[in-house]
Amino acid sequence: MAKSKTKFEKIAFVASEVSEAREALLRLSDRYGAVEPSEADAIVALGGDGLMLATLHRFMNDRIPIYGMNRGSVGFLMNEYREDDLLERLAAAEMSRVHPLSMVAYDAQGKASKALAINEVSLFRERYQAAKLRISIDGKVRMEELICDGVLVATPAGSTAYNLSAYGPILPINAQLLALTPISPFRPRRWRGALLPNKAQISISALEHEKRPVSAVADANEMRNVVRVDIEQARTIDLFMMFDTGHNLDERILAEQFRY
């Protein structure tokens, strides 16, 4: 987690569709001025975690730091909303660099569909029957058959989202790890998942895919009836998220592990 050394003078604002966010956009734009994102030193995103993810996807390859302020419901990835001293907060913010996951999903005809995920890549059963999945890591089969509702691969940034709801581990934002977490595993019943190095190449195959169809989802991008999904970290893509001093993502992840 590095301190920002940039002087942020040109700011772009984006907002979700909720009224609180739209009203905040108008007030902040009037107070601090606003430029187009292509001209900005930083983008201020006004909304909840969904807007932050959408903004990160929208500017995936632009290397523009994004500072979120919570005008939504959850706001785990957002800073506290305050209208005063925005330029000073940006200048003092701590910068987190994260990498998305790259997913390539193949259908029965061999057609490949690609997508990127900031939080997680998930595989889900499509029908009433459980999915049967084979998991390979770096070309070696590590689990011959997992019978489950699904499985997901989460980044540190996504480890407190769906991964946490599926009883997966919380990862510090700078951990060089990925979480592989089963969703309602039936066999092996007691398998709780695995921690993988972030350089791992993960391949998950759907067994009996015609009888037990499986969907793959990269954040909100879904592909249906997949037979194999290859997942790895997109290390050439850098995403920059900004957090107030003392309230950075590492601190939030640490605090989340002591909630009861």
Matching residue, tokens 């070309």: 139
Distance (Å, rounded) from C-alpha 42 to C-alpha 242?
Answer: 9
Residue 117 CB neighbours (<10 A): 25
**Of the candidates 157, 36, 138, the residue with the CA atom closest to the CA atom of residue 97:** 157
Q: Report which residue type is found at 157.
A: A
| Catalytic-residue membership of 49 | yes
The answer to the question of whether 167 is labelled as a binding residue is no
From the list 30, 41, 49, 230, the catalytic residue is 49
The answer to the question of whether 50 is labelled as a binding residue is yes
CA distances from 212 to 109, 111, 150, 164, 220 (A): 17, 19, 11, 26, 22
The answer to the question of whether 161 is labelled as a binding residue is yes
Number of helices (H) and strands (E) in the chain: give both, helices first.
5, 18
Concatenating the DSSP letter of every residue in 63-80 gives: ---EEEEE-SS--TTSBP
| 215 backbone dihedrals φ, ψ, rounded to 5° | -105, 150
The answer to the question of whether 32 is labelled as a binding residue is no
The answer to the question of whether 163 is labelled as a binding residue is yes
The answer to the question of whether 160 is labelled as a binding residue is yes
Distance (Å, rounded) from C-alpha 153 to C-alpha 169?
Answer: 11
DSSP 169: P
The answer to the question of whether 164 is labelled as a binding residue is yes
What pairing do the DSSP bridges indicate for beta strands 226-233 and 221-223?
unpaired
Would you name the residues annotated as active-site residues?
49
Binding residue positions: 49-50, 119-120, 149, 157, 160-165, 221
Binding residue positions for NAD(+): 49-50, 119-120, 149, 157, 160-165, 221
